[in-house]
Amino acid sequence: MSTWKPITQIVQDVQSGTVSAVSLVEKSLAEIEAKADYRSIIAVTKERAFERAAQIDAQVAAGQSTGRLAGVPFIAKDNFLVFGADTTAASNILKGFDAPYQSTAIERLEAEGAICVAKANLDAFAHGSSTENSDFMTTLNPHDKTRVPGGSSGGSAAAVALELAPFALGTDTGGSIRQPASFSGVVGYKPTYGLVSRSGVVAMASSTDVIGPMTRTVEDAALVLDCMAGKDILDGTTIERAAEAYSQLGQQDLTGVKIGVIKEYFGEGLDSEVKTVIDQAIEKIKHAGATVEEVSLPSLKLALACYYIIVPAEISSNLSRYDGQRYGYFTDDADDLDHSYTQSRSIGFGDEAKRRIMIGTYVLSSGYYDAYYQKAQLVRTKLINEFKDAFNKYDVLLGPTAPTTAFKLGEHSSDPLEMYLTDIMTVAVNLAGVPAISLPAGLSDGLPVGVQLIANQSNDHQLLSIARSIEGVLV
């Protein structure tokens, strides 16, 4: 039996006075403490959470409006600026950083009555696919402690799977919501680029970073998205949200829905047992009335190489602000300013951050910009056009979220290229800026397998509606 009711029912209980917000915070913090051995949480925001819960209970008692998420505890990935705990992005270079303001996403959730109770672990600066790159701890998979939960939002995915709170927030730059959702057996939603403000979230790669919810059901994900979505003057990349509520999911069945199964995601490298689970899911979807056909996007084979040129280039720029002079880690025994920069960054950054800074600086350098970065952007444009062509024929595209189930702890730690290959089925979505969702599709040897659904830009409502229907046939 689930620890938590659906979010809408939790809110009804709080607003009716059946359950207090304070008791929900107590329950969430107790779950966090009881399951601390999975190491999914970096810090709790206990004092502030109880203050906010008491305020919500007082509003309920006074008959005042409390919002669509009244009293619902949630967990934020530790790259979101949040009051009540340090924001570290799981990196030593930001250890002790007390955020002077909160991210827009957190502010909007709090305006609807949600209560942040903790900060989740991640790969430092969201650089990774296993949560093993955290400078503080390695999160364990909720289904098998010898395996990774995925990354970089592994702490958030594990927190939802362990039912530490009804939902968690993640960021997705190349699959960092969807891949850990697949490995941990939860729902992970990556919205259209720009639909949710990135203001107040530690930047990784600004042209692909997206914020989204990790939940137990599609309906919960849609409600959380609905509370966060829309333009923000603090983020110039934000777009207008749909007039209709994302939480009002209209699609009731799959009759007439056209689904394109991505050919390139079923070739070499796909684990045979993962393929079996996805094939079984496809048969259930067909049986439910959807039209399912194979579709080819030829440039997908270039997506990972393209991604690992463009994203490190942006990382090298975004991480230049961590210089040990204004905030974060600094060395106090430097001989001069240049030495201070070098020492602070050499000690403060982990190996993966340094690796990406060096790659990014290299591809942007004189003589190599045209050879690498500019060509990668041309491939990106080609990829975007192939997605557009596919969506002229299909409502959604379908494939596995990841080529394997969760791998063993340490299995890819010494081989960065092997680690990067775990993102092979997710990075293209970020390069194209389109929305995607990972749903639990079944189990392979007791480990979760995720199926990925992709829709055209700004078709988030349609994607969520179809995903809810597919979720119903896969249960």
Percentage of the chain beyond pLDDT 70 is: 100
* pLDDT score recorded for residue 133: 95
Please enumerate in sequence order all residues whose Cβ is within 8 A of that of 149, keeping only pairs 6 or more positions apart, or say none: 40, 130, 131, 139, 140, 141, 142, 155, 157, 158, 161, 180, 183, 184, 406
Looking at residues 433-445, what average pLDDT do you find? 97
3-state helix, strand, coil in the chain (%, to 5): 45, 15, 40
Catalytic residue among 27, 77, 119, 190: 77
**Mean pLDDT for the chain overall:** 95
Q: Confidence band (pLDDT; 50, 70, 90) for 340?
A: confident
Given a cut of 80, is residue 373 above it in pLDDT? yes
Give the start-to-end residue ranges of the domains of the chain. Answer: 1-475
Q: What is the DSSP letter of 232?
A: B
Given a cut of 80, is residue 176 above it in pLDDT? yes
Residue 124, helix vs strand vs coil: helix
Q: How far apart are CA 164 and CA 156, in angstroms?
A: 10
Looking at residues 102-116, what average pLDDT do you find? 98
Residue 176 falls in the annotated catalytic set: yes
Token couple for 44: 């709790």
Q: Confidence band (pLDDT; 50, 70, 90) for 87?
A: very high
Looking at residues 119-130, what average pLDDT do you find? 97
Looking at residues 156-179, what average pLDDT do you find? 98
Catalytic residue among 40, 103, 152, 247: 152
Burial class (CB in 10 A: 0-12, 13-18, 19+), 126: buried
pLDDT digits (tens, 9 = 90+) for 392-434: 999 999 999 999 999 999 999 888 888 988 999 999 999 999 9
Looking at residues 9-25, what average pLDDT do you find? 98
119 forms bridges with which residues in the sheet? 43, 76
pLDDT digits (tens, 9 = 90+) for 236-270: 999 999 999 999 997 678 999 999 999 999 988 99
Catalytic residue among 28, 130, 176, 465: 176
Q: How far apart are CA 235 and CA 200, in angstroms?
A: 9
The fourth-level CATH superfamily of domain 1-475 is: Amidase signature (AS) domain (3.90.1300.10)
Q: How far apart are CA 380 and CA 385, in angstroms?
A: 9
Percentage of the chain beyond pLDDT 90 is: 87
pLDDT digits (tens, 9 = 90+) for 178-220: 999 999 999 999 999 999 999 999 999 999 999 999 999 999 9
pTM: 0.96
Residue 77 falls in the annotated catalytic set: yes
Between residues 278 and 416, the one the model is more confident about: 278
* pLDDT score recorded for residue 251: 63
Looking at residues 288-298, what average pLDDT do you find? 97
* Cβ atoms of 253 and 289 closer than 8 Å: yes
